[in-house]
Amino acid sequence: MKKIIIALVMGIAATSSMAVNTVKVTVNGMVCAFCAQGIEKRISKMGATKDVFVDLKKKTVAVEAKDGQMLDAKAISAEIVDAGYDVIKIEPVLQSVAEIKAELKSRK
Protein backbone atom coordinates (compact mmCIF):
# COMPACT_ATOMS: atom_id res chain seq x y z
CA MET A 1 0.00 0.00 0.00
CA LYS A 2 2.82 2.42 0.88
CA LYS A 3 4.47 1.72 -2.49
CA ILE A 4 1.26 2.62 -4.32
CA ILE A 5 0.89 5.90 -2.43
CA ILE A 6 4.55 6.78 -3.02
CA ALA A 7 4.18 5.98 -6.73
CA LEU A 8 1.09 8.18 -6.98
CA VAL A 9 2.83 11.08 -5.23
CA MET A 10 5.89 10.70 -7.47
CA GLY A 11 3.65 10.65 -10.57
CA ILE A 12 1.85 13.80 -9.51
CA ALA A 13 5.15 15.54 -8.74
CA ALA A 14 6.58 14.54 -12.12
CA THR A 15 3.53 15.81 -13.96
CA SER A 16 3.55 19.15 -12.16
CA SER A 17 7.23 19.70 -12.98
CA MET A 18 6.85 18.96 -16.69
CA ALA A 19 7.12 21.85 -19.09
CA VAL A 20 3.51 22.48 -20.02
CA ASN A 21 2.87 25.26 -22.46
CA THR A 22 -0.89 24.89 -22.94
CA VAL A 23 -3.68 25.58 -20.47
CA LYS A 24 -7.39 24.85 -20.69
CA VAL A 25 -9.71 27.35 -19.01
CA THR A 26 -13.33 26.55 -18.16
CA VAL A 27 -15.37 29.74 -18.57
CA ASN A 28 -18.91 30.43 -17.42
CA GLY A 29 -21.04 32.98 -19.25
CA MET A 30 -19.98 32.38 -22.86
CA VAL A 31 -23.25 31.98 -24.73
CA CYS A 32 -22.62 33.10 -28.30
CA ALA A 33 -20.03 33.32 -31.05
CA PHE A 34 -19.49 37.00 -30.25
CA CYS A 35 -18.52 36.05 -26.66
CA ALA A 36 -16.06 33.45 -27.95
CA GLN A 37 -14.58 35.85 -30.50
CA GLY A 38 -14.09 38.56 -27.86
CA ILE A 39 -12.23 36.22 -25.51
CA GLU A 40 -10.11 34.84 -28.35
CA LYS A 41 -9.16 38.35 -29.45
CA ARG A 42 -8.20 39.48 -25.91
CA ILE A 43 -6.10 36.39 -25.14
CA SER A 44 -4.41 36.52 -28.58
CA LYS A 45 -3.09 40.00 -27.77
CA MET A 46 -1.19 38.75 -24.71
CA GLY A 47 2.56 38.62 -25.28
CA ALA A 48 3.21 34.94 -24.56
CA THR A 49 0.22 33.65 -26.55
CA LYS A 50 0.95 31.58 -29.65
CA ASP A 51 -2.53 30.18 -30.30
CA VAL A 52 -6.03 30.33 -28.79
CA PHE A 53 -9.03 28.09 -29.35
CA VAL A 54 -12.48 28.70 -27.87
CA ASP A 55 -14.95 25.82 -27.69
CA LEU A 56 -18.31 27.47 -27.11
CA LYS A 57 -20.19 24.18 -26.57
CA LYS A 58 -17.80 22.96 -23.88
CA LYS A 59 -17.26 26.49 -22.53
CA THR A 60 -13.49 26.09 -22.65
CA VAL A 61 -10.62 28.22 -23.85
CA ALA A 62 -7.31 26.56 -24.78
CA VAL A 63 -4.25 28.81 -24.77
CA GLU A 64 -0.81 27.80 -26.05
CA ALA A 65 2.40 29.67 -25.27
CA LYS A 66 4.98 30.77 -27.79
CA ASP A 67 8.12 28.64 -27.91
CA GLY A 68 10.35 29.34 -24.93
CA GLN A 69 7.70 31.34 -23.06
CA MET A 70 5.46 30.54 -20.12
CA LEU A 71 1.77 31.31 -19.77
CA ASP A 72 0.63 33.40 -16.82
CA ALA A 73 -2.56 31.70 -15.63
CA LYS A 74 -3.45 34.64 -13.37
CA ALA A 75 -3.13 37.11 -16.25
CA ILE A 76 -5.25 34.89 -18.53
CA SER A 77 -7.88 34.56 -15.80
CA ALA A 78 -7.85 38.33 -15.18
CA GLU A 79 -8.28 39.03 -18.90
CA ILE A 80 -11.32 36.72 -19.10
CA VAL A 81 -12.87 38.12 -15.91
CA ASP A 82 -12.25 41.66 -17.14
CA ALA A 83 -14.18 40.75 -20.30
CA GLY A 84 -17.17 39.93 -18.09
CA TYR A 85 -16.98 36.14 -17.71
CA ASP A 86 -16.37 33.80 -14.78
CA VAL A 87 -13.33 31.53 -14.75
CA ILE A 88 -14.30 28.22 -13.19
CA LYS A 89 -11.06 26.27 -13.61
CA ILE A 90 -7.62 26.54 -15.19
CA GLU A 91 -5.67 23.36 -15.84
CA PRO A 92 -2.44 22.57 -17.68
CA VAL A 93 -2.77 20.15 -20.59
CA LEU A 94 -0.13 18.28 -22.54
CA GLN A 95 -1.78 18.83 -25.94
CA SER A 96 -1.17 21.74 -28.27
CA VAL A 97 -4.08 23.88 -29.41
CA ALA A 98 -3.82 22.26 -32.86
CA GLU A 99 -4.14 18.79 -31.28
CA ILE A 100 -7.17 19.91 -29.26
CA LYS A 101 -8.84 21.23 -32.44
CA ALA A 102 -8.04 18.01 -34.35
CA GLU A 103 -9.44 15.87 -31.55
CA LEU A 104 -12.67 17.87 -31.56
CA LYS A 105 -13.04 17.54 -35.35
CA SER A 106 -12.48 13.77 -35.18
CA ARG A 107 -15.37 13.39 -32.73
CA LYS A 108 -17.89 14.95 -35.11
Q: Domain residues of the chain, as ranges?
A: 20-107
Residue pLDDT, tens place only, 44-80: 999 999 999 999 999 999 999 999 999 999 999 999 9
Round to whole Å and give the CA distance between 27 and 106.
23
Q: Residue 91 carries which DSSP code?
A: E
Contact of 43 with 73, CB cutoff 8 Å: no
| 28 vs 107: which has the higher pLDDT | 28
Residue 76: per-residue pLDDT:
97
Where does the pLDDT of residue 20 fall: very low under 50, low under 70, confident under 90, or very high at 90 and above? low
Rounded to whole angstroms, what are the CA distances from 96 to 29, 37, 65?
A: 25, 20, 9
Contact of 56 with 36, CB cutoff 8 Å: yes
Round to whole Å and give the CA distance between 92 and 21.
8
**Bridge partner list, 51:** 64
**Topology of the domain covering 20-107:** Alpha-Beta Plaits (3.30.70)
Residue pLDDT, tens place only, 30-42: 999 999 999 999 9
Q: Report the pLDDT averaged over residues 4-26.
A: 55
